Structure 1
Amino acid sequence: MTILTTARLRLEPMSDEHLQGLFEMNRDAEVMRYITGKPDTIADTQAMIDRVQARWAEWGYSWWTFIERETGEIVGAGCVQHLGRDRANPHELGWRLRRDRWGRGYGSEAAIRMAAYAFDTLDAPQLVAFCDADNRASSHVMEKLGMRFRATERWYDFDGSVYGITRDEWRQGLGAPGAAGAPERQSPPMK
Structure 2
Amino acid sequence: MSKIIMSTDRLTLRQMRKDDINHLLEIFSDPVAMKYYPSTKDESAANEWIDWTLSNYEKFGLGLWIVEAKETGEFLGQCGIVPQDIEGTIEMEIGYLFVRSKWGNGYATEAALACKNYGFNQLELPKLISLPDINNKPSIKVAERIGMILDKKIYKWEKDVYVYSVKR
TM-score by length of 1: 0.82
Q: Tell me the residue number matched to 1:132.
A: 133
User: CA-to-partner distance for each residue in 1:35-77, whole Å, 9 max, x for gaps?
Assistant: 23x2210111111001111111111111101111233221110
Higher strand proportion (structure 1 or 2): 2
How much does 1:2 deviate? 5.2
Letter in 2 for 1:150: D
Moved more, 80-89 or 55-64: 80-89
1:141 aligned to 2:142?
yes
Unaligned runs of 5+ in 1: 168-191
Mapping of residues 1-191 of structure 1, within 5 Å: 3-36=5-38, 38-84=39-85, 88-167=89-168
Q: How many residues align?
A: 166
Instruction: Point out the structure with max Rg over C-alpha.
Output: 1
Does the 8 Å CA contact 1:84/1:155 hold for their aligned counterparts? no
Does the 8 Å CA contact 2:150/2:164 hold for their aligned counterparts? yes
> Structure 2 CA distance, aligned partners of 1:50 and 1:86?
25
Q: 1:160 to 1:138 in 2, by over 3 A?
A: same
Alignment root-mean-square deviation, CA: 1.8
User: CA-to-partner distance for each residue in 1:125-145, whole Å, 9 max, x for gaps?
Assistant: 111100111100000011101
Query: Stretches of 4+ moved more than 3 A in 1?
Result: 85-88
User: CA-to-partner distance for each residue in 1:60-108, whole Å, 9 max, x for gaps?
Assistant: 1111011112332211101201223999422111001100110100000
Unaligned runs of 5+ in 2: none
Percent identity, please.
28
Moved more, 107-116 or 16-25: 16-25
